Structure 1
Amino acid sequence: MEIQFLGTGAGSPGKFRNVTSTALRLLDERNSVWLFDVGEATQHQILRTTLKPRKIDKIFITHLHGDHIFGLPGLLSSRSFQGGDGPLTIYGPRGIRQYVETSLRVSETKLSYKIHYQELTTDGLVFEDSKFRVSARRLDHKILCFGYRVEEKDHAGELNVEKLRADQIPAGPVYGQMKSGETVTLPDGRTINGQDYLGPSQPGRIVALLGDTRQTPNAAKLAENADVLVHESTFAKGESKLARAYYHSTNIQAAELAKRTHVKMLLLNHISARYTGKMALELQSQARDVFHNTRVVKDFDEINVPFQKVAPEGTHS
C-alpha cells in the first residue's frame, strides 16, 4: 500500500504544485488504484508516473469545488483510450453524478466502460469487501464535504513451518489449508487444527484522507489511530482566524489533531501558493514542534504505508 501525490496545491495550479489529487496504490493488495479527488490536469500528472489509468477502479471525491474535480471528465475520457474497459465507481457528495454526466453529454464523450455512482449525503460505510472497508464523514467546509477512512482488514498470521516440521507434518497442499486456519486430517489419521500453527494476526493499516475543512469532531473520528493522516494545510501558524473564515485549517491544527488521535504519520497537503520553497519547509517545521512525524508533501511524492510490528506471542510490545 502506497500513497502517491499527484497534486498538493490549493485553489489553482502553481508552478510547483498542481491542484489536489491523491492516489492510493493497492497493486499488491487488489491490483487496483483508488483516486481521492481529481483536480485539473490530474491525467497530465499521471503521465509522469508509473500509474495506469486502467488500474483506477474507484474515485472518491471529497467535495465539488473546482480544484478537486475539474480534472475528472478528461481522466474518465482518456481511460477509455488506455485499455480501461472495466467498471469504475465514483463516490462523492450529491451532485457529482450530474457534474460528470453533464460534462460527458455536452462534450459528446462516449465511454467504453460503465460508471457506478454512490452519492453521499450522510456519514457511514461506503464500501466493504473481504480486504477493505471505507467510511465517510461530513467535514466543515463551505459546501458539502467528506473525509474518508480506509481500513485494511487484518491479515492472517504466518504459518509456523518450524513447528509443523517438529510435529512431523509433511509439506504439501495441506499447508495451504492450515494457512487458512482449517482443520485437516493427515494420511496417518491425525486431525490437526490449522489455527494451532498460525502466528498472531497482522493488524491491517488505516489511512485517513480529509477534504478541505475547519476543525470538527468528525475529523478526529476519521483520524483515530490511523497509520497515515492526509490533512490540508492551507494556512500557517498564527492564521487560525483566517482559516476559520475560509473554512480551512492551519498546519498547527492538523498537527494537534494527529497528536490527539494517536496518528502514526501526518502528511500535509493542499498547500497555498503563498508557501513556496523555504516557506513550505517552515510549515513543516512549525507542525513538527507539535507532532514530530509530520511531512509537507510535494507533487509526485510516494509514501509507503508500513505495517506496524506485531509482538510475538509471549512477549509484550
Structure 2
Amino acid sequence: MELIFLGTGAGIPSPERNVTAVALALNEERGTFWLFDCGEATQHQIMRSPLKLSRLEYIFITHLHGDHIYGLPGLLSSRSYHGGTTPLTIFGPAGLARFIETSLQVSGSHLDYELRIEELQEGVIFEDEQFTISCARLEHRIDSYGYRIVEHDLPGRLDRDRLIADGILPGPIYQQIKLSKEPIAYEGRLLDPKRYVGPDIPGRKLAILGDTRPAPNALQLAQTVDVLVHEATFAEAEAELARRYYHTTTRQAAEIAAQAGAGELILTHFSSRYNREDLAWLIQEASRYHKPVYAAYDGYQHPIPRK
C-alpha cells in the first residue's frame, strides 16, 4: 500500500504543482489503484508515475470544484485506449453524474468498460472482504467530503513447526486452521486454531480529506488513523484568509491530527504562493503541534507498511 501524490496544488496549477489528485496504490493487496480527486491533467501525471491507467479500480471525488474534477472526462476516455476493460466505479457528491454524463455525451466519447457513478450519502459507501470505506461531509463553500479507508485485520502467522510437531502434516487443513476462529475436527480430534495461529495483523487505516475548514467530521474521520492526508492551503499566519475561503492552515491540520490520535500527517493542497523551497518551513510550523509531518509534492510516494 502506497500513496502517490499526482497533484498537490490548490485552485490552479503552477509550474511546480498540478491541481489535486492522490492515488492509493494497492499492488500487493489487489493489483489495482484507487484515485482520490482528479484535477486537470491528472492523466498526464499518471503517465509520469509507476501507475497504469488500465488498473484504476475506483475513483473517490471529494467535491465538485474544478481543480478536483476537470481531469475526469479525459482520463475516463483515455482508460479505454490504455486497455482498461474492467468496470470502474466513481463515488462523489450529488451532481457528479450529470457532469460526467454531459461531458462524455457532448464530446462523443466511447468507453470500452462499464462506468458506475455512485453519488454520496454519509456513512459506509463501500465494503468488501479487504476494506471498508466511509465518508462524511466537511465544511467548505460547497459540499465537500472526507474519506476514511480501513483495511480489515489479517489472520496471524501460522506456526508450522508446532503443527508438524503435533502430527498435523501440510495440506488444506493448514488454510482451514489459519482462517477459522472455531475448533476444527481433524482425524478424530479437535484442533484449536489459537494454538497454531498468532495474533491478527492489524489492518491499516487512513483518512483522505477534501477542502475544508477545521471541522468536527474531519476529527472523526481521522481518529487513530495511521496516515492522515489533510489540506494545508495556507501557512499559520494566514488563518483569517483560510477561514474566509473555507480552507485550513498548517497549524490547524496538525492540531486535528494531534486531537485525533493520528499517526503520520501529510500536508497537501498548497496555495500557489508557496514554492518547493517553502515546504521545509511549512513542515516546521505544523511540527510544533504534531509529529511526524510530511509535505507532499507532485510525484511524492509514501509507503504505508503493515505494523
Q: TM-score, normalised by structure 1?
A: 0.94
Matches within 5 A, 1:135-146: 135-146=134-145
2:24 equivalent to 1:24: yes
Matches within 5 A, 1:81-100: 81-100=81-100
Cα distance in 1 between the residues matched to 2:9 and 2:276: 13
Any stretches of 5+ residues in structure 1 without a counterpart? 309-317
Q: Counterpart of 1:213 in structure 2: which amino acid?
A: T
- For 1:193, the equivalent position in structure 2 comes to 192
**How well do the aligned residues superpose, as a CA RMSD in angstroms?**
1.2
What is the CA-CA distance between 1:265 and the residue it aligns to? 0.2
- For 1:237, the equivalent position in structure 2 comes to 236
Partner SS state of residue 29, structure 1: coil
- For 1:154, the equivalent position in structure 2 comes to 153
2:176 equivalent to 1:172: no
- For 1:311, the equivalent position in structure 2 comes to none
Q: Counterpart of 2:296 in structure 1: which amino acid?
A: V
Tell me if the contact between 2:12 and 2:18 (Cα under 8 Å) persists in the aligned partners.
yes
Partner SS state of residue 238, structure 1: helix
Q: Percent identity?
A: 50
What is the CA-CA distance between 1:192 and the residue it aligns to? 1.6
- For 2:262, the equivalent position in structure 1 comes to 263
- For 1:296, the equivalent position in structure 2 comes to 295
Tell me if the contact between 2:16 and 2:276 (Cα under 8 Å) persists in the aligned partners.
no
Higher mean C-alpha deviation, range 158-167 or range 106-115: 158-167
What is the CA-CA distance between 1:165 and the residue it aligns to? 2.6
Cα distance in 2 between the residues matched to 1:5 and 1:305: 14
Partner SS state of residue 256, structure 1: helix
- For 2:6, the equivalent position in structure 1 comes to 6
Partner SS state of residue 235, structure 1: coil
What is the CA-CA distance between 1:28 and the residue it aligns to? 1.3
What is the CA-CA distance between 1:184 and the residue it aligns to? 3.9
Higher mean C-alpha deviation, range 158-167 or range 203-212: 158-167
Partner SS state of residue 43, structure 2: helix
The CA deviation string for residues 40-60 of structure 1, in whole angstroms up to 9 with x for no partner, is: 000000111121111111100
Q: Counterpart of 1:236 in structure 2: which amino acid?
A: A
Cα distance in 2 between the residues matched to 1:263 and 1:8: 21
Cα distance in 1 between the residues matched to 2:62 and 2:42: 15
The CA deviation string for residues 223-274 of structure 1, in whole angstroms up to 9 with x for no partner, is: 0000000000101012111101000000100001111111110000001111
Cα distance in 2 between the residues matched to 1:85 and 1:183: 43
- For 1:62, the equivalent position in structure 2 comes to 62
Cα distance in 1 between the residues matched to 2:267 and 2:185: 53
Q: TM-score, normalised by structure 2?
A: 0.97
The CA deviation string for residues 62-91 of structure 1, in whole angstroms up to 9 with x for no partner, is: 000000001000000000111111111110
Partner SS state of residue 157, structure 1: coil
What is the CA-CA distance between 1:27 and the residue it aligns to? 1.7
Cα distance in 1 between the residues matched to 2:199 and 2:286: 35
Cα distance in 1 between the residues matched to 2:69 and 2:133: 20
The CA deviation string for residues 105-146 of structure 1, in whole angstroms up to 9 with x for no partner, is: 1100011111111112x4211100111000000000000110
Q: Counterpart of 1:276 in structure 2: which amino acid?
A: N
**Structure 1 stretches (4+) deviating beyond 6 angstroms?**
none
What is the CA-CA distance between 1:147 and the residue it aligns to? 0.4
Cα distance in 2 between the residues matched to 1:184 and 1:230: 43
Cα distance in 1 between the residues matched to 2:190 and 2:229: 48
Any stretches of 5+ residues in structure 2 without a counterpart? none
Partner SS state of residue 29, structure 2: helix
What is the CA-CA distance between 1:183 and the residue it aligns to? 4.2
Partner SS state of residue 30, structure 1: coil
What is the CA-CA distance between 1:185 and the residue it aligns to? 3.9
